[in-house]
A = this chain, B = another copy of it.
Amino acid sequence: MSFIPKRLYRRRTEKTGLAPGTPMHIGQRKMEMIKITVIDYDAVGYYEERETTDIARLAKAKETEPITWINIAGLHQIETIEAIGQIFDIHPLLLEDILNTEQRPKIEQYDNYLYMILKLIHWREDDNEIETEQISIVLGNRFVITFQEQEEDIFDPLRQRIRSGKGRIRQFGSDYLAYSLLDMVVDHYFLILENLGEQIEVVEDELVSDPNTTTLQKIHDLKREMLYLRRSVWPLREVIGGLQRDESNLIQEATLIFLRDVYEHTIQVIDTIETYRDVVSGLLDVYLSSISNKMNEVMKVLTVIATIFIPLTFITSLYGMNFRYMPELQWRWAYPLLWLVLITISVFMLAYFRKKDWL
């Protein structure tokens, strides 16, 4: 298993010494080409969705009436990101953060836009490991810009909802769109939690039926995944809290109640992670004592066998001696008598062990 936290900080250090605010992509290149998707919609029924490469035309979004959602998938073409930054007046430090996929979730408030970094958690099926993707959201007055590391379909249901015009989404402003994105990211955590819950259950069953060294490794891996998950989710709470206390006019009153809802979901996620952590710690205790128990059982078997046979062997060895004058050796019934003695001793010992509850 690769070591998770290291992955986070390795590439960060390449930047040491550069001037702050120098945009540089830190992270894995997860797709071939940057892909920019623009969705325009308004409450009365206008809807347009297109893919574009003409960045200059994006500027329109700032002025026109419909709400614009610009989604940029892929972060490795720095010039494109910088161009978008210039069009929407995004602070250079913020562009740096967008490109550095090792950021901690956070929220920043500027004069005319809000900036959020979120962590989307995937479960990589092939090696059964957690993977994060950084999602940056820039919320302006009439537009939302999202930056993703890869082209994921997690926002597809949302696009579908906008397209169909059902629900509140087209009635509300860009803040509701940003909220919906946030909501989807948080909802995604529940999938991960379910997955983790199942893994915990598997480990639990293994602990009862057949604890072995790989069980320990699995417990250890679960602990680490929890550590990692926790790190991504805890700051999210502050992010949403910050949104709720927002003093810009970007968040409308009506959206606040929805933010409260997503806030509570986050608390629930955090709660569950903490509970899981406690459960996994408990599993470790159970593992350790089951190891002790097994050892105990092994010891008992050894002790029972050894303590029964050692005295018996002593006796037989005794009569294997070659002394000239050993009267017993000549007795007629010595051998059957000896058997009697041996059996008596064995029975007595077995009774003792049974009393001691070792059998």
Interface residues, chain A, CB within 8 Å of chain B? 3, 5-6, 8-10, 12-13, 15-22, 91, 93, 103-104, 106, 108, 157, 161, 166-169, 180, 183-184, 187-188, 190-191, 193-194, 197-198, 200-201, 204, 208, 210, 213, 216-217, 220, 223-224, 227-228, 231, 257-258, 260-262, 264, 267-268, 271-272, 275-276, 278-279, 282, 284-296, 298-303, 305-307, 309-314, 316-335, 338, 356-358
Q: List 29 A-B contacts (CB under 8 A).
A: A5-B200, A10-B194, A13-B193, A13-B194, A16-B191, A17-B157, A19-B161, A19-B168, A20-B258, A20-B262, A21-B167, A21-B168, A21-B258, A106-B264, A210-B357, A216-B293, A284-B285, A291-B296, A295-B296, A301-B356, A302-B303, A305-B311, A306-B306, A306-B310, A309-B314, A319-B321, A324-B329, A324-B330, A325-B332
A329 to B329, CA, bound (A): 14
Q: In the complex, which of the residues B285, B292, B313, B356 contacts A295, with contact meaning CB atoms closer than 8 Å?
A: B292
Contact between chains at A286 and B216 (CB < 8 Å)? yes
A264 to B108, CA, bound (A): 11
CB distance from A330 to the nearest CB of B (A): 5
Q: Which of A166, A201, A267, A279 has the most CB of B within 10 A?
A: A279
A338 to B110, CA, bound (A): 91
Given contacts A260-B108, A279-B227, contact A169 B19 (CB under 8 A): yes
List the B side residues contacting A333 at CB < 8 Å: 325
Given contacts A301-B303, A319-B323, contact A216 B289 (CB under 8 A): yes
List the B side residues contacting A302 at CB < 8 Å: 299, 302-303, 306-307
List the B side residues contacting A157 at CB < 8 Å: 17-18
List the B side residues contacting A305 at CB < 8 Å: 306-307, 310-311
